Amino acid sequence: LFIGGDDFSWEAIQKSRNLYCQMKVSNKIAAQFNETLAAVTTALNIHLNIAQSTIINTAAVFISLERTTMASLSSKLIRQVGTGQIRMSSIFDSNLTENSSILLRSIMQPLAVAGASRSQANTNLSTSISLSLFDLNSNEISIRTSADHSIELLIPRDPNSLIPPMTLQNVTSMSAVH
pLDDT digits (tens, 9 = 90+) for 129-170: 888 999 888 889 888 888 888 888 888 776 666 666 766 666
Find out whether 126 and 113 touch, Cβ atoms under 8 Å: no
Q: Is the pTM of the predicted complex or chain greater than 0.75?
A: no
**Alpha-carbon span 60 to 33, nearest angstrom:** 11
Three-class SS of residue 172?
Answer: coil
Quick one: 24 exposed, middle or buried, by C-beta within 10 A (0-12, 13-18, 19+)? exposed
Ramachandran class of 73: left when φ > 0, alpha when ψ lies in -120 to 50, beta otherwise: alpha
Q: What is the average pLDDT value for the chain, to the nearest integer?
A: 79
**How many CB atoms are closer than 10 A to CB 160?**
6
